[in-house]
Structure 1
Amino acid sequence: MLHVLTHNILPVFAMLALGFALGRTGQVRHDEAGALNRVAFLVLQPALLLPLIAGQDWSSFRPAPIAAYAGSQVVMFALAYLVARKGFGRDHLESWLLAMATMFVNTLLYIWPISYLIYGEAAALPITAVVSWDSAVTFSFFIVTTDLMAGRSASRRAALARVARNPVLIAIALGAALNLAGLSLPAPVLTAMDFAGAGAAPLTLFALGVILSGHALLPSGPVIAISALKLLAFPALVWAGLHLTDTPTGWETLFILAAAGPSGAMAFALAMLYGVRTDVIAPVIIWTSTLSLLSLAWLA
């Protein structure tokens, strides 16, 4: 456990911690971190995802564990929304995003590199299944619903148009199309994408650390409750769901590892974009990122 923590998990977490430290000391400004995050989102994350999706053997995906994971997300979301809305009296949109933070994990930029360090190529298929589901379905759902509830768009068509222009979703769609057509990326393009994609996780985590450094760390009641739902209840739900399906041992281990990861930064990003208060969402991401160090090391 200690070896996994020091050699596989902490090196990835270090980029988030470094960004937080440099942000707190004023060495890197928030607007600079925002620019870094934009570059990572527009260029590096698509370069990471496209060859990953295009090169997958989709016939080896197991629909049962993916369905169990998705079902656990739905149950977790409903429970967390009620806790935030009814238990703590947060408004509708904030409760919506807090509930998102309990079941939308930072799989692409955090769990994926950690799982590869621990398990190597054995992690490719199960973690890619979670990344693909969350990126293509969960991610799209929350972008569209949050946009509509915030009243920023005049119509559903406008919201869907924005989703269609999302570079991460474009990369996933293009990768899936190439895969289904049996086409391979040209070797020079693949080399360029591998080179660029390698920087996606460290740059994004660093930028996130800088942005989060401007928020208070003191955990309030809602922060403790939402963090507990994310770190304890959601992995337990996924574990229970997987035991109701015919799930291979390797898939079960990696799906639970994914569920035990920290809250995805997208809930925080959407809150900032639509002017939703972040005094709970930001600490949730900070605390789940920190506390998940031990749970991930134990599970691995």
Structure 2
Amino acid sequence: MLAIFLKTLPFFALIGLGYLAGRTRFFTAEATAYLTKFVFFFALSAMLFDFAANLTLAEILDLRFIAAYLWGTTFVYLIATAVGFLRGLSVAESAVEAQCAVIGNVGFMGIPMLALLLGPQSAGPMLMILATDLIVFSSLIVILITGSRGEAGWATLRTVGLGLLKNPMIVSIALGIAWSATGRDLWVPVAEFVDILGAAATPGALFAIGASLAGKSAERLSVAGWLSFAKLVLHPLAVAVSAFYFFPVSDPYAATVMISAAAMPVAGNVYMLAQHYGVAPQRVSAAILVSTAISILTVSAVVGILTGGT
């Protein structure tokens, strides 16, 4: 377990460095926004394209794997939604809290971290999880919020569809799969270009996470604590039960990747959605800050339990 913790420590140290830079205003909010944009549209997209281009469609599309992840994630989503309703929250607020409970920082944190901890072969399962989160749950929250305001209709579906088509993560994965289907290797200069650009994703993303956390508040800690517990404990637990019992995943390694990915802290894009629609952004901000801080211990624990601490 200690070995796993020591391997994750450099990742969290990079987040801490970014946090320090943001907190001291050495890295301003504007600088953080531009760094995040660079990582999102260029570096991370190059990394995802590179992964997908070197995998077959069968390695990325496993219906039983997706069903297992969907079942476990939906179960926790419904629990968080029910808790929200019991507290008297609106549909929109409950949807945002449910999103916090199940959408982890897979793109910026999970993919680079698990590639080191579990090996580069974790890319296939990680891409399935990332695509499922983006296509299913990122679409669902938009539909629920707009529907609760009486704005749902073809215009909403069109907005959701265009959003997916314009999402650089979805586009880069799709282009990588398309290239992989040709059976050809990338032209060497192109492959080296993608490698160099993709290599900037890990340090850039982790630093950007930390710098963005410097602007987050820790208000309403009781709610943030509940959402962090749901994300860091309930989500990986439900996914584990699903992967081992309800929809048994044939490859134990893929199941390990799935559960480890589910243990990631709340993703930053949940805050962007909450802020865009004006639904509980402070609550989401606190959940991101608290869950990321606690995940220093919980991620190591989950990966350590799954791998026997080696």
TM exceeds 0.5?
Answer: yes
**Structure 1 residue 31: deviation in Å?**
1.5
2:113 counterpart residue number:
114
Q: Find the residue that maps to 2:189 and give its secondary structure.
A: helix
Residue 171 of structure 2 corresponds to residue 173 of structure 1: no
On the 8 A contact 2:139/2:160 being kept in 1, the answer is no
Aligned-residue identity in percent:
26
Q: Find the residue that maps to 2:281 and give its secondary structure.
A: coil
**More deviation, 243-252/74-83:** 243-252
Q: Which runs of 5+ in 1 are unaligned?
A: none
- Rounded to whole Å, the distance in 2 between the matches of 1:268 and 1:158 is 19
**Structure 1 residue 108: deviation in Å?**
2.3
Listed one character per residue, the Cα deviations across residues 130-181 of structure 1 (whole Å, up to 9, x for unaligned) are 2343345444554666577675998132442343222222212212222234
1:89 counterpart residue number:
88
1:24 counterpart residue number:
23
The one-letter code sitting in structure 2 at the alignment partner of 1:243 is F
On the 8 A contact 1:12/1:113 being kept in 2, the answer is no
Residue 286 of structure 2 corresponds to residue 283 of structure 1: yes
1:76 counterpart residue number:
76
Matches within 5 A, 1:1-300: 1-6=1-6, 8-60=7-59, 62-84=62-84, 86-142=85-141, 155=155, 156-217=157-218, 220-244=221-245, 245-247=247-249, 248-300=251-303
Q: Find the residue that maps to 1:243 and give its secondary structure.
A: helix
Q: Find the residue that maps to 1:279 and give its secondary structure.
A: helix
Provide closer, same or farther for how the CA distance between residues 158 and 226 of structure 1 changes in structure 2, counting only shifts above 3 A. Answer: closer
2:308 counterpart residue number:
none
On the 8 A contact 2:131/2:170 being kept in 1, the answer is no
Q: Find the residue that maps to 1:89 and give its secondary structure.
A: coil
On the 8 A contact 1:88/1:222 being kept in 2, the answer is no
**Structure 1 residue 68: deviation in Å?**
0.6
- Rounded to whole Å, the distance in 2 between the matches of 1:143 and 1:186 is 40
- Rounded to whole Å, the distance in 2 between the matches of 1:65 and 1:38 is 31
**Structure 1 residue 43: deviation in Å?**
1.3
The one-letter code sitting in structure 2 at the alignment partner of 1:50 is F
On the 8 A contact 1:37/1:207 being kept in 2, the answer is yes
Listed one character per residue, the Cα deviations across residues 232-286 of structure 1 (whole Å, up to 9, x for unaligned) are 1111111110122332322222221111111121101212233333221111111
The one-letter code sitting in structure 2 at the alignment partner of 1:236 is L
Provide closer, same or farther for how the CA distance between residues 298 and 258 of structure 1 changes in structure 2, counting only shifts above 3 A. Answer: same
**Structure 1 residue 122: deviation in Å?**
4.3
**Structure 1 residue 290: deviation in Å?**
1.7
Provide closer, same or farther for how the CA distance between residues 193 and 144 of structure 1 changes in structure 2, counting only shifts above 3 A. Answer: farther
On the 8 A contact 2:134/2:164 being kept in 1, the answer is no
Aligned residues: 298
The one-letter code sitting in structure 1 at the alignment partner of 2:66 is I
Provide closer, same or farther for how the CA distance between residues 196 and 96 of structure 1 changes in structure 2, counting only shifts above 3 A. Answer: same
The one-letter code sitting in structure 2 at the alignment partner of 1:263 is V
- Rounded to whole Å, the distance in 1 between the matches of 2:141 and 2:180 is 26
Instruction: Supply the RMSD in Å over aligned alpha carbons.
Output: 2.5
TM-score, with length taken from structure 1: 0.88
Q: Which runs of 5+ in 2 are unaligned?
A: 304-310
The one-letter code sitting in structure 1 at the alignment partner of 2:15 is L
Provide closer, same or farther for how the CA distance between residues 216 and 63 of structure 1 changes in structure 2, counting only shifts above 3 A. Answer: same
Provide closer, same or farther for how the CA distance between residues 109 and 152 of structure 1 changes in structure 2, counting only shifts above 3 A. Answer: same
On the 8 A contact 2:105/2:267 being kept in 1, the answer is yes
TM-score, with length taken from structure 2: 0.85
The one-letter code sitting in structure 1 at the alignment partner of 2:267 is G
